[in-house]
Amino acid sequence: MSADGSRRFAANVHGWLLVLPAAALLVLFTHYPTVATFLRSFFSTAKGARGSAFVGVDNYRQMIDDPIFWQVLSNNAYFALGTIPVSIGLALLMAIWVNGRIAGKGWLRLAYFTPTVLPMIAVANIWLFFYTPQYGLFEQVLSAFGVPAHNFLGSKDTVLTCLIIVAIWKEAGFFMIFYLAALQQMSPNLAEAAAIEGASRWHFFRRVTFPLLMPTTLFVLVNAIINSFRLVDHVVVMTRGGPDNASSLLLYYIYEVGFRYWDSAYAAALTMVLLALLALFAVGQFLFMDRKVHYR
Amino acid sequence: MVLQPSKPGLALETAGAWLLAALWILPLAYAFWTAFHPAEYATRFDLFAPLTLQNFRNAWEAAPFSRYFFNTIVLVAMILGAQLVLCTLAAYAFARYAFRGRDVMFVLVLVQLMIMPEVLLVENYRTMSVLGILDSLPAIGLPYMASAFGIFLLRQTFKTIPAELEDAARVEGASALQILLKVYVPLARPVYLAFALVSVSFHWNNFLWPLVVTNSVHSRPLTVGLQVFSSGDQGIDWSIITAATIMTTAPLLIAFLLFQRWFVQSFMRAGIR
């Protein structure tokens, strides 16, 4: 073997050895379970003496006939639509304020960012207290204005909105950070040039700042979508999906089916839907990224 | 400066910014109020209400929080330690070794950015049960130890380090491991700090997977312990629940307040790809 050949051989061996420990764990806890979930979704759940059997697409058929599945899916869509635009808009506003000339910027940044550091479960506990009938802060404020008592988390009409408010509060400060990073990298020459041209501030924002922030917006958007499907801690703490599944989200339903009803086959089929959705968003991001969104 | 709002405009924006900040801090302020005052003041505001630590004492005695703290600290340290080692090695290989199948491997690693371990909780639960380690700290930590995010972040950093530095070290007779430890790791220190802060705050706060995989005091982290505590008999005593909530988040919150700048910069750095 030539010296060059043995060198390449060594690079192969070293490279693989370095990657191997991480790769083994990734295969065991990401790739294998993904494939196993896919396969399991075509089998029945083993119950007692009756083992698991191949049932074709029965689990998926059950899913299509399952009104809770459709409700959970629409809840999740509603939750995402309610959370994402508002939290991204607020994040942008916060970033512009914190990046500007407002007095006490440091304190503002601290206030906006703090919810991000707290565990969702602690946050949910605090908000649970807010929403409590009779005691809660909301009830007290509203009753001061003569609004009749209302059980916010106990009512199908308001429960999801309550969760949306918590999620917005928790996430806006996190997204602000990314906008802030992007704003700080922007050249001040742009603003100077715009000032010489006599552009208004709003015009500058709409024609320069916002388009230049497009990659950040996209990054934040994808993260926000993934989070809205991945994070259900607040559902566990505040509502357990109730009342009557009005606040159940897809992952929470998977958790319920998997660990309360122990129906792992049906949970596998539901997980496949979640995985398909996540893959869809990832592909979407990839396609968008390629088109260099920021220069129209 | 240019393009600043007019005087009244600035005043209006300042007011808006501060109003939003007040709104954002209100839930926390309220929680602090409740936790540090006797229960009868939980929903009644009185500037002269007596301060007390009794709620904290009650919470601490009502549940094994010391054990939960211990579990969380061990868990977070264990995950971070493993992540640093595994991700460093893998990132180094991806950045500097032209091994066969590298690009395919790298794409396979990135899959985890999209499919987080908690999405696969039913199947991962089964794996833990087959491995016989249900209800243990390693069961909580294992799925997160090979972090695609960490590998990606470090690979990007290693790639920016000039190859000449490595060549120079090699001429001096340094081994591959020495080069990694003496050249790459020190130069990537800010990225390590960023990754560590993000990782610690993520795992201190993580809830769903630990909830699923633990069922005893011996392995429950703080978040799950807090949930078990506040959904139990104490269900109505908000003063004690908020005290417990503040207690469990205090270390992270204090660290955040002390190292605010680092935290913010770390999250920024981790977000820019």
Q: List, in sequence order, the alpha helices (H) in chain A.
A: 3-26, 32-40, 58-64, 67-99, 105-117, 120-131, 137-144, 159-184, 188-196, 201-204, 210-212, 214-230, 233-238, 250-259, 264-290
Say if B100 is an interface residue toward chain A (CB within 8 Å): yes
Range of the domain at B159: 70-219
Given this model, what pLDDT does residue A268 score? 94
Average pLDDT, chain A: 85
User: What is the domain partition of chain A in residue ranges?
Assistant: 60-295
Average the pLDDT over B202-209 and give the result.
92
Given this model, what pLDDT does residue B194 score? 82
Note if the bond before A243 is cis, omega within 30 degrees. Answer: yes
pLDDT of A292 strictly over 50: no
Say if B73 is an interface residue toward chain A (CB within 8 Å): no
- Chain B residue nearest residue A110, CA to CA: B260
Say if A219 is an interface residue toward chain B (CB within 8 Å): yes
Which among B20, B79, B120 is the top mutation candidate for probing chain A, defined by the most A β-carbons within 10 Å of its own β-carbon?
B120
**Token pair recorded at residue B12:** 């209006």
Q: Cβ(B247)–Cβ(B56) under 8 Å?
A: yes
Given this model, what pLDDT does residue B273 score? 44
Chain position carrying tokens 């909105």? A161
Pairwise CA distance, residues A234 & B205, whole Å: 12
How many Å lie between the alpha carbon of B8 and the closest alpha carbon of chain A?
Answer: 13
Whether residue B212 and residue A204 make contact (CB cut-off 8 A), yes or no, is no
Say if A109 is an interface residue toward chain B (CB within 8 Å): yes
Given this model, what pLDDT does residue B236 score? 64
pLDDT of A152 strictly over 70: yes
Pairwise CA distance, residues B269 & B120, whole Å: 28
How many Å lie between the alpha carbon of A65 and the closest alpha carbon of chain B?
Answer: 22
Using DSSP, state whether A50 is helix, strand or coil. strand
Q: Lowest-pLDDT range, A16-20, A238-242, B234-238?
A: B234-238
Chain A residue numbers touching B16 (CB-CB < 8 A): 97
Q: Cβ(A249)–Cβ(A79) under 8 Å?
A: yes
Average the pLDDT over A218-225 and give the result.
86
| Of B16 and B44, the one with more pLDDT | B16
Q: Cβ(B146)–Cβ(A26) under 8 Å?
A: yes
Q: How many domains does chain B have?
A: 1
Pairwise CA distance, residues A98 & A106, whole Å: 8
B32 lies in some domain: no
Say if A283 is an interface residue toward chain B (CB within 8 Å): no
pLDDT of B210 strictly over 90: yes
Question: Does the A60-295 domain belong in CATH 3.30.70.1230?
Answer: no
- Taking Cα atoms as reference points, which of B14, B257, B106, B273 lies closest to residue A103? B14
Whether residue A29 and residue B124 make contact (CB cut-off 8 A), yes or no, is yes
Say if B94 is an interface residue toward chain A (CB within 8 Å): yes
Query: What are the pLDDT digits (tens) for A93-142?
Result: 999 888 887 888 888 888 898 888 888 888 888 888 888 776 677 777 77
**Taking the alpha carbons of A267, B213, B60, B77 in that order, is the dihedral positive or negative?**
negative
Given this model, what pLDDT does residue A146 score? 72
pLDDT of B190 strictly over 90: no
- Chain A residue nearest residue B212, CA to CA: A259
B262 lies in some domain: no
Given this model, what pLDDT does residue B52 score? 82
Angle subtended by helix axes B238-258 and B7-35, to nearest 10: 130
Whether residue B13 and residue A100 make contact (CB cut-off 8 A), yes or no, is yes
Q: Lowest-pLDDT range, A190-199, B134-143, B174-183?
A: A190-199
Pairwise CA distance, residues B260 & B263, whole Å: 5
Say if B171 is an interface residue toward chain A (CB within 8 Å): no
- Chain A residue nearest residue B260, CA to CA: A110
B123 lies in some domain: yes
Whether residue B148 and residue A177 make contact (CB cut-off 8 A), yes or no, is no
Pairwise CA distance, residues B112 & B271, whole Å: 16
pLDDT of A296 strictly over 60: no
Using DSSP, state whether A185 is helix, strand or coil. coil
How many Å lie between the alpha carbon of A171 and the closest alpha carbon of chain B?
Answer: 11
What was the ipTM of the complex prediction? Answer: 0.87
Average the pLDDT over A192-214 and give the result.
82
- Taking Cα atoms as reference points, which of A23, A65, A121 lies closest to residue B101? A23
Pairwise CA distance, residues B223 & B217, whole Å: 12
Q: Lowest-pLDDT range, A148-157, A222-231, A243-252, B251-260?
A: A148-157
Query: What are the pLDDT digits (tens) for B62-107?
Result: 889 899 999 999 999 999 999 999 999 999 999 988 888 899 999 9
Whether residue A132 and residue B21 make contact (CB cut-off 8 A), yes or no, is no
Pairwise CA distance, residues A168 & A224, whole Å: 10
Using DSSP, state whether A106 is helix, strand or coil. helix
Confidence of residue A2 (pLDDT cuts 50, 70, 90): low
Average the pLDDT over A186-190 and give the result.
80
What are φ and ψ of residue A54, in 5° steps? -70, 130
pLDDT of B1 strictly over 80: no
Whether residue A111 and residue B21 make contact (CB cut-off 8 A), yes or no, is yes
**Token pair recorded at residue A60:** 């998926």
Angle subtended by helix axes A3-26 and B137-145, to nearest 10: 140
What is the distance between the terminal CA atoms of chain B, rounded to a whole angstrom? 30
Chain B residue numbers touching A34 (CB-CB < 8 A): 111, 115, 120, 123
pLDDT of A1 strictly over 70: no
B130 lies in some domain: yes
Average the pLDDT over B23-43 and give the result.
82
**Token pair recorded at residue B30:** 């309220």
pLDDT of A91 strictly over 90: yes
Domain CATH number, residue B137? 1.10.3720.10
Chain A residue numbers touching B120 (CB-CB < 8 A): 29-30, 33-34, 37, 271
How many Å lie between the alpha carbon of B179 and the closest alpha carbon of chain A?
Answer: 14
| Of B43 and B138, the one with more pLDDT | B138
Distance of CA A82 to the CA centre of its chain: 12
Looking at chain B from residue 172 to 191, which residues have their Cβ under 8 Å from any Cβ of chain A?
176
Q: List, in sequence order, the alpha helices (H) in chain B.
A: 7-35, 54-62, 65-96, 102-114, 121-131, 137-145, 148-160, 163-171, 176-179, 185-187, 189-205, 208-213, 222-230, 238-258, 260-271
Given this model, what pLDDT does residue A295 score? 38
Bridge partner list, A43: A54
pLDDT of A174 strictly over 80: yes
Whether residue B89 and residue A30 make contact (CB cut-off 8 A), yes or no, is no
Q: Cβ(A25)–Cβ(B92) under 8 Å?
A: no
Given this model, what pLDDT does residue B233 score? 60
Average the pLDDT over A155-171 and give the result.
90
Average the pLDDT over B23-38 and give the result.
86
| Of A191 and B25, the one with more pLDDT | B25
How many Å lie between the alpha carbon of A122 and the closest alpha carbon of chain B?
Answer: 6
Given this model, what pLDDT does residue A293 score? 45
Average the pLDDT over A75-85 and give the result.
94
Whether residue A114 and residue B253 make contact (CB cut-off 8 A), yes or no, is yes
| Of A133 and A83, the one with more pLDDT | A83
Say if B264 is an interface residue toward chain A (CB within 8 Å): yes
